[in-house]
Structure 1
Amino acid sequence: MNIKPSAAIRKNYNEISALCKTTKEPVFLTKNGEGDLVVMDIATFSRRESMLRLREQLVAVEEDRLTGKKGFSIGEVDEMMKKAIKEAADEQRG
């Protein structure tokens, strides 16, 4: 975990930016000894957001399964994918 005083962002922006990019970890900034902000590079932020969205989707699917909502079998999904691919290919041919 990287912890820096908030003044470090003004004085050492490039250093903190490089630290975020090389470690792929957030930097925690403090103000008057207390946690204040978290800084991270865009790629790490985007990756974390994608993971959170995927987890939300997985939780929703699991909740549906636990409440008895009907899903699709592997065979049904396979057929839907084949149909979608064929339709997309047909549209491209025009």
Structure 2
Amino acid sequence: MVNTNRTIRPVSDLRNNFADVSRTVHETGEPVFLTKNGFGDMVVLSMEAYESLRFDSRVYDMLLEGEREAETTGERFSPKEALAAMRTAIDGAARV
């Protein structure tokens, strides 16, 4: 389920209310969207949330790569082989 309750603040809050912005991203794990002159300008995330997004993106990219490879090759793996390969990939990604 996607959180539709976004925290939107003016970019000036980085200077004037940095501690509050920082507390918000750390306590909620959600981004704070910053605006400049009424338009979206940037997003602030905690390091933990950012790393989680990067990890999810890498896993998604690997799955897409696997789907493309499956379309172009006749090679198939058993569920046991696939699970072992995923565990190896996840362990390697977690060390990065």
- The TM-score bracket by the shorter chain reads 0.7 to 0.9
Long gaps (5+) in structure 2: 1-5, 86-96
Are 1:56 and 2:64 an aligned pair?
no
Q: Which residue of 2 aligns with 1:16?
A: 21
* 1:54-75 Cα distance to aligned partner (Å, 9 max, x none): 0000010011112234133245
Please, which of 24, 28, 33 is the counterpart of residue 28 of structure 1? 33
User: TM-score scaled by structure 2?
Assistant: 0.74
Matching residue's letter, 2:16: K
Please state which structure has a larger fraction of its residues in helix.
1
Structure ID, larger Rg: 1
Please, which of 70, 73, 77 is the counterpart of residue 75 of structure 2? 70
Q: Give the root-mean-square deviation of aligned CA atoms.
A: 2.0
Query: Across the two proteins, how many residue pairs are aligned to each other?
Result: 79
Q: Distance in 1 between matches of 2:79 and 2:52?
A: 28
Long gaps (5+) in structure 1: 82-94
Identity of aligned residues (%): 32
Q: Distance in 1 between matches of 2:26 and 2:63?
A: 29
